[in-house]
Each structure stands twice: as structure tokens, then as C-alpha cells.
Structure 1
Amino acid sequence: MCGITGYIGSRPALEVALDTLKRLEYRGYDSAGVAFWGGEKLQVMKRAGKIQQLSDLLNGVEAHGLAVSHTRWATHGIPNDPNAHPHTDEQGCVAVVHNGIIENYLELKQELLARGHQFRSETDTEVLAHLIEEQLAQGYAPEEAVRRALQPVRGSYAIAVLFTDYPDRVVVARNDSPLVIGLGDGENFVASDIPALLPYTRRVILLENGDVGVVTRDAVRLTRLDGASVERPPVEITWSAEAAEKGGHEHFMIKEILEQPEAVRDTLRGRLKPNGGIQFPELKLEVEDWQKFRRILIVACGTAYHAGLVGKHALERWLRRPVEVYYSSEFRYGDPILQPNTLAVFISQSGETADTLAALRLCREAGYTTLGIVNVVGSSIARECDHVIYTQAGPEISVASTKAYSTQVAVLYLLGLYLSAINGTLPMQTYSEGVKGLMQMPSLIARSLETEPQVRQIAEQLHQTPLAFYLGRGVDAYVAMEGALKIKEIAYVPTQEPPAGEMKHGPLALVEPGVIAVFIATQERTREKLLGNLKEIKARQGTVFLVTTEDDHLLPQEADYTVFVPKPPLEELSPLVSIPVLQLFAYHVARLRGCEIDQPRNLAKSVTVE
């Protein structure tokens, strides 16, 4: 999943397709491809790598008025030529480009294989091409064939489909993945994001979930999945091209903070069963393999390390197994005690973090079972681990990780509940509350993000602070560490982030007027103790900013500023609803201080040297 563009009209179709596709390069991708009408038949050309490699492949090739193109951020199958989009049926009668994740693709693929279909790729997308082919074979027109093919599909999709026998149209459909249609004079466009279209048109139709469209040179006809006609009025885009890349936002970081509900939804997609269970179709370990692990080791750096600490808190409580979390950079030099029956988990957004890779190789030499939690398919950690779980967060452009953290934490929650069910270490009611909480999490995160106007106002009052404490107890102390890292990274505010109970053992000496203390207090059993810590700050004329859940009637009475977040069914899940507030606070402090937010000084997105 990543970028989709399409064109139908009188211009050179390949030139338009590639030009619009290049305008989505900021999203990140690992392969590119195009389907077009080559005069007599549908043609598909694609390559792993950058758009320039696809352009070189297409040198001298002509297309006649119709093309769709795609950049892929791999979710199913490594980045290579066969897995690149577009995907076709066996006869080459249908070409599909797709953003999203088909949750039940394995089930659908098995059914198609049983009916004699043959597949060329490892992707979920190819299933769609075969499903559409079957409907065409039964005599249905393209639009109806797409509608019928999508009926058994569960998951997210934005698709554009070309047909050999219908060179006058593109059929599109959307569910949970964005897709827009650009309107021209004697020509029309398709794209997954508005920036691709701005040089050509500013009149667009924004498709909604369940929409199916037929796009020709002179018309756009929209229906719903059930065939009912629908009208979507065009919207005039007034953004600049630069702003459009960021969804109209000033920075990628705020865009990615606000994408967290959808990112977490994609992480959970296909892993939360409709009946309330948890599955990992990508993992091939048997139940007895999982049961043999007596110890879990988590190795990571920076934000991923903080996610690992949150995972430790949940895993130990749910599994009653010891969980150790190491900084990757310290692992090899700390002479770690390597024990049998240990599951070693390596967390990295890029999958290329050099220190984490070095630790992974040491664990493999020791004979550990290794599991990677990464975002980038085909990355080094993904390739070298015995098993891998992809977070499916999509590209993250800003150096400061936000949605990567939330999706890593979500994977650790899934893993913890999954292992607790296998080992029988949780009461059924607690397990059910955990699964229920994960199902609700995208909407709970969205509610937390609704606090942005309030957080922005608080930042206006506090952004000139010379020092910020980030304080909590239990899992809130781990969330505080990540909140402190964010404001250090992008706003250059010095921080102290000891567990709140450690304040009187030294750090309290730094509190004076102008210093702020950000308290995270989502755990009911620690609030009385936190009250004492809060009063210690106030007694020394520090300013208290409190982030707590809606059931807290104790601490807000003493805080200078309070932001309430929703309370999940299980307290262990609270980091996913509290961290967005801390991310927003760091962002607005940095904005008010005039900092370069997406590319902070001295930092890089992927740390590939030790």
C-alpha cells in the first residue's frame, strides 16, 4: 500500500501517470508499476526500486489515453518485481492497483486455488484480480464485477482497475483507504492523495467508504457496493502543493500524530478475529513452541525501546514470565546472560537500526528464537529474524516517531494477550476486556486527539519553560519517558524523566519557578502516591500539567492544567490514549519556539551506524 494514480484522456497517459506518481514520492515506497492500454491490449510494467527505474523501463513505450500507476510500501511479500503492483489475473484481462490490507486474503486465496487459479505473487492484492476475473467470466460488466468481487472481502482497500475489453474506463472503489477523483475537461484523474493532482486540476471528488466509481474521459458515475446510485459533490482544493503533501497540515509530524487511529486500526486488522480472539497468520510457531518460552528479551533503541518498556509492563502482568528490556547499543557490551527457552524480540521502525541488528546477530549465534517487530517489509531485521510481525503503520516521514510508537505498542499488546491465551495465565474476563479494549482503541485514540485545541492553549502558556519534568508511576513512567523524548527531539527542551517516586532522591533540587512537571496518571492505584509528588512540585513553585483519565477526581484539584483522556477497559492499554496528548504538546511547544519540527537538528530517521 502507498500511492495510486490514474489518468484517462487525450494526453500522453504514461507521462501523466509517472508525473502524478512522482508527486507522491514523499510517502516512501519500495517498488513502482504501471498498467496501460498499449493499442491492442492491456500491458503491465513494474520494478522494485524507485520510479526512475520504472521510467527507464518505459523509455520509448507509448500508451493511448489510459493508465494507472502505483508505488508500493510492502505489507505482504518482500519488495521485488513479482510483488510490485499492478497485479493481474492469469489471462491478463484485469489489472489492479491497491492500497490497504485484505484481512481474509489467505482464506480467499485458498478458495481460489481450489478452483484452479494460479498466483504469481505473495501479495494480498492479487486475490482481488482473480475475484474480479471470475465475475467477468460470468458475464458481468466491469462495475458490477468489481462490486460482486468485493462482497466477500474484509479489510481496507482503495483500488483502481483496468480491463482489456473496456479501454474506455477505470473502475475504482474505496473502503478505509483514501481515494479521490480529479475532474478535468475531456479528461479525468484518480489518486490516493490530492498532491498528485494539483498541477492538473483542483476540482476533486472525495470518495467515501463503500463507494464504487466508473471513470471515463467525460464522466464519473458513482454507486454504492449494493448498486445504489450516489452523488458526491466536487470540492475545490485551495491548498498549496506543499501543504497538500501534508494533508493540509503545517508539518508531517502533526499529520502522522493524527493518523494514529488509522495506523493502529491497520496494525490490528486481520489479527483481531471477528469472534474476539487473536491470531498471527504470519507466524508459523506451534502452540507448544510458544509454551516453551520461559523468558522474553526485548531489544530496541529510542522510541522503540520505550515501546518495549510498555510491552514489558503488560507481558509480565499477563504472562507471569520475566521480561527484560535492553538498549540495543548496550546489549553486546553488557555481557548479557543468555539463557535457553528465551524469545528475543527486536523492535525497529526502519528494520535497519545498526545497534539492534548487532544484538540480533548475537542472539542468533546463541540459538535464541528471534522475533522482529518492524514497519518496513524486507528490511534487514525482518530478513534476519526467525519470525517477523509487521506493524503496518505506513510510511513515517517525520524524524520524531509517533504512529510507529503506537503501532509497536499495539503489536506488543496483541502478542501479550495471544501468549496469555496459549499459556492460560489470564482470567477469561481479563482477556476479554483486553481484546475489547484493543478493538476500541482506534476510536479511543481519536477521542484523545480531540484534545488538541486544549493542548495547543496549554503549550502557549508553557512553551518558554527552561526545564520539563515528565513523571509517572508504573506504566505511566514509561509513557513519560517517551513524552520527554519527543519534546527533547523537536523542541530542544531539557527534560528530567525519573519515575515520580525518585524525585526526592535528587531531581527535586532542580524545581524552581518556571519549571514545568508533566504528570501522567492513568493508573488508579498510583494516584494517591502521585498526589504527594505533585504537591512537592507545587511547593517549590513549579507548574503542573496533568494528563489523566476521565475517572480521576483526585489529582485535577491540585494541577494547574489538566487534560482528560478516555479510560480503556483494561488499564494496561492506557499508554495508547495518553501518548497522543504528549505528542501534541511537544509538537505545539516546538512550533511556538520556531523549531524545525520534521527534521530536528543532529538527528536522522534511521540510525544505521553504531
Structure 2
Amino acid sequence: MCGIIGYTGSGEAAEVLLRGLRRLEYRGYDSAGAAIVNDGAMKVVKRAGRVDSIAPLLDGVEGSTGIAHTRWATHGKVTDGNAHPHTSCGNDLAIVHNGIVENHAELRAELEARGHVFRSETDSEVIAHLLEEALRGSKDPLRAALEVCGRLRGSYAFLAAGPALGKAILAARKDSPLVLGFADGAAYAASDVYGFVEWADDAYFMENGSVALITPEGVRAALLDGTPLEVRPVKVAFEMATSDASVYAHHTLREIMEQPEVVARALAPRPEIELAAGALRTAGRVFAVGAGTSYHAAMVARYAFAEVAGVDLQPVLASEHDLFLRWMDAGSVVLAISQSGETADVLEAVRAARAKGARIVSIVNVPHSTLERESDLSVNVRAGPEVGVAATKSFTAQLSTLFSMALEAAGRPPLDAERLRQLVTSALSSEGSARAAGERLRDATDVYIVGRGVHYPVALEGALKVKELAYVHAEGLAAGELKHGTLAMVEEGTPVVLVNPGDGTYVDTISNGEEMKARGAFVIGISERPNDLYDLHIPIPEARGLELPIVEVVPLQLLAYYVALARGAEIDRPRNLAKSVTVK
């Protein structure tokens, strides 16, 4: 879960790499570094901390070829020495790496026995030393990369540059994303297209299990078995205008506020929805695989598909997919849900399901992602780039897309996109109430978010947002389960959030709220109906049926944001978390 970027061309590499790293910092922000190649020499700068910590060190560094990295630590502490890039013994080669080298310990022992000196605790450094050996004797760099990859076990995307390669950059990819870009005599490489799309919209998404030699003049690529690949770039358009936080203090708040347009865009008719619905109508079993927020979307979808289409959809937590494989076969459809399309556990689950003969329909936000390319059919949720680590607009876009599929499968009219736009806009007007509630919960150590029926997975998602953004322990609870343990935790002042719209769950949820209130709970109600039970009321507009999960999650997102703001948390980049979970 790291961000890597490379550039080779006629411009100054330092400027390109620094701007690209800032775009990719959502992938990791423990440390950052860059290696710049210029006239047979290489300058390496790296520091623990954010990308901006290396900006002064790059000032005045010249060179038209370079690689850079922003880290989310997996092996080795967060120190200057463990920051990437890592260099060879001769300092004529540097590498940046995303992934995990599972056999790094044995490789390191071999290399040290041959005289190599290591400077870090990371698994990544073995790649630099292996490549140094493989390049000896003027070997073709592409063949050298293939030789190194043949020694590595695990997942990886890495770039290599240095005087040993001149103006070329080596790239390799196995189970971690890597995309190349081309424009105006320059070439780029990055963990995702977001890193370079402001300069290049011709992109080549590297095949899984392949290597490439990149120069300003072009690229040579091959599979790991040496089979040459034809490189065919595609045009990308990823709504980059939404990448700036603009008038908002944080990307996360901007993305919450974008949801009226996002939901309307996701609900727009498109052929992929009809094709997905057709697959669902004939499926023997239907599974929805996801992780984190995407798993909560799968849980909401279970209620929606049962209610409107009579389909028994089984949510599957991606990391636990093995349990469900026994029921998957050629008649099954797996809905694979992922914002990035690169989530390691989801990809593993999809590959296992495909091996059982299941048909894969992906619900994904990032175009040309690995998940999209490995699916039989892909439906893009059209949320646009989501920079904040905590998923917000991608969740409501996923729900909108899943609901459209369920309704189409049932032959029922779609949700009214304009009505949903207005409802979500109205839900955003609760910002003032959410801010007041957030300030009230600033010093909370525990928060319980309670919902019943389809509102239970929405409560789970709300609790996840509080944990991610504010670093406060929060639990999403099924209202009917309070008597089975949770009431023992409620005491004077315990914050409880009731997800309590005026549908068929309203009366029972009020009763559950009364039980907690009687034991001293401070109750925050999310509902279109005021009630004397609530110590604070966050209003939502009157909505119905499938509209409700989309509408009611908005004040939960705002609440989490304002708790985090009140606590002074790092909102866009929560500690210890990264946007795209590309390692298991």
C-alpha cells in the first residue's frame, strides 16, 4: 500500500515526481523519497514523514529521469533509513517498491553471504541488490528484470532507475498495480493513473505478471515467462477536475459534499446495468464480495435484492471467502465490489471464484483497474477520484449502482435520479446539527451507532467512519441485539446514535433507544421525525425504501468528519491507514 511514480523525458524529474507523489500520498504517508539521475550520477533523498518533508531536499536537484515513493510501512519501522528508494551497493541503481517480498529473509542471507551490504530493515532492499547482480556484464535490462522477478515470491510493483540504466526505467508488476503513461516525448509510471494523468492521458495498464523497460522513445514489455507483449495504450479520462479540495478544508469534506451529483450520475441508465441484471436473473447463487466499506455495501445489497428482486444475495467478507467457495459453481454470479479495483483480498476471492466457474461482475470506481480487467462484466460507479482515505462518495455510488441492478433484475422502475439528488442535497443541510454533535462527542471514548434491518449495515458504516477519521472506538449494532451484551456497556453519558428513519423499523428502534436512555445514554437521533428521546437531533429528509440508506449515511459521514475535526485528527490521511489495500 505504497505510492510509486517514475518519469523519464526532457523535463526536470524532481518537479514531476514531487507533484505526482502529492497526488499519490493517499496510498501511504509514513515516509517519502526520490532518486534523480543526471549525467551518470544519482541523487537520493528520503525522509520519514509526509511528502512535503522531502520538497526542500529536491530543490535545485537536476535530472530528467527519476523514481519516487511514498510509503505505508509493512516491513521495518518508519525511519529515514527504511524510507524508499533503496540503492545497490555501487549506488548506480535505486528501486521503489509496493508489495511484500515473502522470501526476503532467505534472499538477504544469500546476498549478504556474497558480500552485499544492506542499509535498511525492509524486504524491498533485496530487489536493488538482486538487480545489481543481474545487470552485470551489460545484460539486457529487460532480461535482468525477468531474472530478478524469477527469484521473488509475493506481490510487488517496483521501478528501478540509476546510472546503470541511463535514461531508462525498469518496471515490474505482480499482483500490485502499475500503469505507464506517455505524452510529448516523455514516459511515466505510477501506482495508478492519478499520479500522472495531468500530463499524459495515453496509458498502458501493465499486465499482471510482466516487466517493462521504459524510455522517452517507447516501451518494451514481456510476461514473466519472457513472452513479448504488444503495448497498446488507451485513453483515460478520470474527472481530474475533482482532485482539488478547492473551497473545502479537506478532500474528505469535499467528497461528502459531492454526493448529490455522484448519486445522480451513478443512477443514470447504462447498458452495463442491463447486462448485469440479465446475469443475475439466470444465476443459481449470487454472492457479493467486498472489504471494509465495500463489504457494508454488500450487506445493504442483501436487503435490497431480497426486497425488490427476491434474490438471495450472500455477502462475503473478502478475507473470509474460502468458506463460501464450496457453494460457488458455473451457475453462480459474484458481484465483486471495490473502490480501487486493486484490493488484494477481493482480487484473491475473485480468482478463487473464477476457478470454480463463477461469473464475475465487478462494481468498481477506478477505470482499467485490475478488478475491472479480470471481470466478465464491469460496472463503474462513476464516483470520480476519491482522495480521502475514508470512503464516502464511493459508498453512496456503490449503493446507487447496486440498487439499479436489483431493480433492473426485478423489471421494476429505476430510482429517480433527480429526486435522489435533491434528497441527498437536503441531507447535507444537516451539516450544522452534525457539527454540533461532533463537538459534543469530541472527548468520547466509545460511541455506539444503532440500526435495525437495512439500517444496521449503515450503522456499521457510520461506526467505521468514526474509527477511521476520529480514532474513537465506535461500534455499529443491530438494535434487536442490545439485550445480548451491549446494554452492559451503557452508563451515564454513553453516546448512542440511533439511525431511526420513519419506516417500519421506527417504533422498535425508539423502544431500543428508550432502553439505553434509561441507563444514562446520551442519544443522538438521525431521523426525519423529532422525538423527545433525542438529546440531539440530526434531521434527514423524508425518504422511502431504497432511498433511505443513501440518505441516512450522509449525516453519519458528516458526524464522523466533525468529531475528527474537533479532535484535531488528520482527516484525509488517517494514521496507520491507506486508501488502497493492495497487500494482505
Same fold by TM-score, threshold 0.5 exceeded?
yes
- Aligned counterparts of 1:121 and 1:383: Cα–Cα separation in 2: 14
Q: Report the equivalent of 1:408.
A: 398
- Aligned counterparts of 1:607 and 1:482: Cα–Cα separation in 2: 18
Alignment identity in percent? 32
- Partner amino acid for 2:310? R
Question: Pick from 512, 515, 518: which aligns with 1:533?
Answer: 512
Q: Report the equivalent of 2:542.
A: 567
Q: CA deviation at 1:600?
A: 1.1
- Partner amino acid for 1:71? E
Matches within 5 A, 1:235-314: 245-269=244-268, 271=269, 279-281=270-272, 287=278, 289-314=279-304
Question: Pick from 46, 66, 71: which aligns with 2:198?
Answer: 71
8 Å contact 2:274–2:405 — kept in the other structure?
Answer: no
Q: CA deviation at 1:419?
A: 0.6
Question: Pick from 466, 473, 496: which aligns with 1:494?
Answer: 473
- Aligned counterparts of 1:325 and 1:254: Cα–Cα separation in 2: 29
Q: CA deviation at 1:291?
A: 2.8
- Partner amino acid for 1:253? T
Residues 366, 572 of structure 1: CA spacing in aligned structure 2 closer, same or farther, 3 A cutoff?
same
Q: CA deviation at 1:72?
A: 8.5
Q: Report the equivalent of 2:464.
A: 485
Matches within 5 A, 1:3-82: 54=183, 57=186, 71=198, 79-80=203-204
- Aligned counterparts of 1:539 and 1:401: Cα–Cα separation in 2: 35
Q: Report the equivalent of 1:108.
A: none
Q: CA deviation at 1:335?
A: 5.3
Q: Report the equivalent of 2:499.
A: 520
Q: Report the equivalent of 2:357.
A: 367
- Aligned counterparts of 1:265 and 1:366: Cα–Cα separation in 2: 36
Residues 264, 28 of structure 1: CA spacing in aligned structure 2 closer, same or farther, 3 A cutoff?
farther
- Partner amino acid for 1:262? E
Does residue 317 in structure 1 map to residue 297 in structure 2?
no
Question: Pick from 353, 376, 380: which aligns with 1:386?
Answer: 376
Residues 529, 58 of structure 1: CA spacing in aligned structure 2 closer, same or farther, 3 A cutoff?
closer
Q: CA deviation at 1:24?
A: 8.9
8 Å contact 1:475–1:572 — kept in the other structure?
Answer: no
8 Å contact 1:294–1:321 — kept in the other structure?
Answer: no
Matches within 5 A, 1:588-599: 588-599=562-573
Over residues 56-100 of structure 1, what are the superposed CA-to-partner deviations in whole Å (9 max), with x where a residue is unaligned? 5399xxxxxxxxx973998xxx9449xxxxxxxxxxxxxxxxxxx
Root-mean-square deviation (CA), in Å? 3.3
Q: CA deviation at 1:382?
A: 0.6
- Aligned counterparts of 1:513 and 1:482: Cα–Cα separation in 2: 25
- Aligned counterparts of 1:329 and 1:268: Cα–Cα separation in 2: 29
Matches within 5 A, 1:413-428: 413-421=403-411
Over residues 438-466 of structure 1, what are the superposed CA-to-partner deviations in whole Å (9 max), with x where a residue is unaligned? 44112211111111122112211222112
Q: Report the equivalent of 1:584.
A: 558
- Partner amino acid for 1:561? L
8 Å contact 1:73–1:394 — kept in the other structure?
Answer: no
DSSP 3-state at the match of 1:352: coil
DSSP 3-state at the match of 1:571: coil
- Aligned counterparts of 1:355 and 1:441: Cα–Cα separation in 2: 32
For this pair of structures, how many residues does the alignment match?
A: 389
Q: Report the equivalent of 1:223.
A: none
Q: Report the equivalent of 1:451.
A: 430
Over residues 408-442 of structure 1, what are the superposed CA-to-partner deviations in whole Å (9 max), with x where a residue is unaligned? 11110111111111xxxxxxxxx34x522x44112
Residues 286, 487 of structure 1: CA spacing in aligned structure 2 closer, same or farther, 3 A cutoff?
closer
Q: CA deviation at 1:605?
A: 0.7
Does residue 544 in structure 1 map to residue 537 in structure 2?
no
8 Å contact 2:280–2:286 — kept in the other structure?
Answer: no
- Aligned counterparts of 1:533 and 1:446: Cα–Cα separation in 2: 29
Q: Report the equivalent of 1:202.
A: none
Residues 260, 73 of structure 1: CA spacing in aligned structure 2 closer, same or farther, 3 A cutoff?
farther
TM-score (normalizing by structure 2): 0.61
Residues 286, 256 of structure 1: CA spacing in aligned structure 2 closer, same or farther, 3 A cutoff?
closer
- Aligned counterparts of 1:387 and 1:372: Cα–Cα separation in 2: 6
DSSP 3-state at the match of 2:520: coil
Question: Pick from 410, 419, 422: which aligns with 1:440?
Answer: 419
Q: CA deviation at 1:268?
A: 2.5
8 Å contact 2:498–2:524 — kept in the other structure?
Answer: yes
- Aligned counterparts of 1:26 and 1:268: Cα–Cα separation in 2: 32
Unaligned runs of 5+ in 1: 1-13, 30-47, 60-68, 82-119, 126-156, 158-176, 179-191, 196-244, 272-278, 422-430
DSSP 3-state at the match of 1:517: strand
Q: CA deviation at 1:49?
A: 5.4
Over residues 499-536 of structure 1, what are the superposed CA-to-partner deviations in whole Å (9 max), with x where a residue is unaligned? 01101110110001231110101252111111211111
Question: Pick from 345, 366, 385: which aligns with 1:395?
Answer: 385
- Aligned counterparts of 1:562 and 1:470: Cα–Cα separation in 2: 14
Q: Report the equivalent of 2:332.
A: 342
- Aligned counterparts of 1:265 and 1:73: Cα–Cα separation in 2: 29
- Aligned counterparts of 1:352 and 1:406: Cα–Cα separation in 2: 19
- Partner amino acid for 1:435? L
Over residues 111-170 of structure 1, what are the superposed CA-to-partner deviations in whole Å (9 max), with x where a residue is unaligned? xxxxxxxxx997798xxxxxxxxxxxxxxxxxxxxxxxxxxxxxxx9xxxxxxxxxxxxx
Over residues 557-581 of structure 1, what are the superposed CA-to-partner deviations in whole Å (9 max), with x where a residue is unaligned? 211111111123x322211111110
Question: Pick from 447, 454, 468: which aligns with 1:475?
Answer: 454
TM-score (normalizing by structure 1): 0.58
- Partner amino acid for 1:504? K
Residues 26, 576 of structure 1: CA spacing in aligned structure 2 closer, same or farther, 3 A cutoff?
farther
Matches within 5 A, 1:77-88: 79-80=203-204
Residues 377, 394 of structure 1: CA spacing in aligned structure 2 closer, same or farther, 3 A cutoff?
same
8 Å contact 1:353–1:608 — kept in the other structure?
Answer: yes
- Aligned counterparts of 1:15 and 1:364: Cα–Cα separation in 2: 44
- Aligned counterparts of 1:26 and 1:452: Cα–Cα separation in 2: 29
- Aligned counterparts of 1:124 and 1:506: Cα–Cα separation in 2: 51
Residues 293, 605 of structure 1: CA spacing in aligned structure 2 closer, same or farther, 3 A cutoff?
same
Q: CA deviation at 1:280?
A: 2.2
- Aligned counterparts of 1:517 and 1:58: Cα–Cα separation in 2: 53
8 Å contact 1:448–1:566 — kept in the other structure?
Answer: yes
8 Å contact 2:388–2:573 — kept in the other structure?
Answer: yes
Residues 15, 537 of structure 1: CA spacing in aligned structure 2 closer, same or farther, 3 A cutoff?
same
